[in-house]
Amino acid sequence: MPLVIVSGLPTSGKSTRSKQLYDYLEKRIVDSKYRLHLISDESLSISRTVYDLSPDKLPAHTRSANASEKDARAALYGAVKRVLSDKDIVILDGLNYIKGWRYQLHCEAKAMRTPSCILQIGCGVDRAKGVNEERLRRREATGNKSEEESEGATDNSPNVDTAEPYEPGNWDNLVFRYEEPNPMTRWDSPLFTLIWEDDEPQTTKVFSDLWDAIAGETRKVIRPNQATVQRGREASGDYLYVLDRETSDIVKRIVEAQREGDDVDEVRIPSGSGDLTVQLPAGKKVGLPQLQRLRRAFMGLNRGGIGLEAVGDMRAARLRETFVTYLNDTFEKDE
């Protein structure tokens, strides 16, 4: 099942929308074999200070300015990879502001043969900044109270926003570094957008469209890139081994046939589809050095078949036929 990557400015409402999407999908997968996961910085206990690249905030002996941020992304990537499968829906709630990071997640989903999409949370910079400033004021006010007063305020206001704020410099830096998703790129499509003002009916409609695109009956079939598919081995060996074995056998048969008689014009080569015939130059003996040079040249031309052992044209019988044709063409040109 798909990977839903939630992206947007800091404090733009991503966690709220992610929880709404989680509740919506939870109802859609009732009595089904699918499982639902919500992964976020909060679920992995990742502090928002890891995204702060201010020099005065870095601890001593830090290997690089963004070392903590890289470690956080590694933790998120590992959590996604552990649960991502064709039976799991994964919602990744986070900044996801780097297009290279979104591309990495897209490739991981594609390798698992499951679709991915982007849910962008649209919010104005001023509004998002106001949310962060309000959280900063609330944190400062809470810090000035005693522990008992703080607990009492929490009990009286169960729905209060308790999310951790960003430091002002950190927030400005994250907004500056944010790379908006581009639906023209394959790793940012399909792209769905929810803005701050969207009400419940509009939100439900977007969630429904998202479900139809990546989990509905009309969703696209995802196939991994051939470069990422682990190729198997034939019982008779891999491609280079088969190529070397078949060409060596043909060279050996030609040499032995010429050794048995002085005037040999053709050599029969057994093959799965019937005997093949090598037409030797009339009145001329082809030595082993020349045959070995031709064999090496043929192997150099056909090394590109690595990984295509399962394709019909790359099996042993086809390689024998191709090499015999190559030899016949070469001998014909030499006459």
Sequence-ordered list of residues with C-beta below 8 angstroms from that of 163, at least 6 positions apart, any chain: 11, 15, 135
What are the domain boundaries of the chain? 3-143+163-215, 238-332
Please state which CATH number belongs to domain 3-143+163-215: 3.40.50.300
Contact in structure between 123 and 10 (CB atoms under 8 Å): no
**pLDDT above 60: residue 89:** yes
What is the CB-side half-sphere exposure of residue 53 using CA atoms within 13 A?
Answer: 13
* Tens-place pLDDT, residues 143-191: 766 454 544 444 444 455 678 899 999 999 999 999 999 999 999 999 9
Contact in structure between 253 and 259 (CB atoms under 8 Å): no
* Tens-place pLDDT, residues 101-118: 999 999 999 988 899 999
The pLDDT value recorded for residue 243 is 86
Contact in structure between 74 and 19 (CB atoms under 8 Å): no
Q: What is the mean pLDDT of the chain?
A: 84
Sequence-ordered list of residues with C-beta below 8 angstroms from that of 28, at least 6 positions apart, any chain: 211
Sequence-ordered list of residues with C-beta below 8 angstroms from that of 119, at least 6 positions apart, any chain: 4, 5, 6, 7, 17, 21, 192, 193, 194, 210
Highest mean pLDDT out of 180-184, 262-266, 303-307: 180-184
Chain centroid to Cα 131, Å, comes to 34
**pLDDT above 90: residue 13:** yes
The pLDDT value recorded for residue 11 is 94
- Between CA 102 and CA 107 the distance in angstroms is 9
DSSP string, 143-176: HHS-HHHHHHHHHH-TTS--PPPPPHHHHHHHHH
Sequence-ordered list of residues with C-beta below 8 angstroms from that of 4, at least 6 positions apart, any chain: 21, 89, 90, 91, 92, 116, 117, 119, 210, 214
Confidence class of residue 230 from pLDDT cuts 50, 70 and 90? Answer: low
The pLDDT value recorded for residue 312 is 46
* Tens-place pLDDT, residues 41-85: 999 999 988 888 776 766 665 656 678 889 999 999 999 999 998
pTM of the model: 0.66
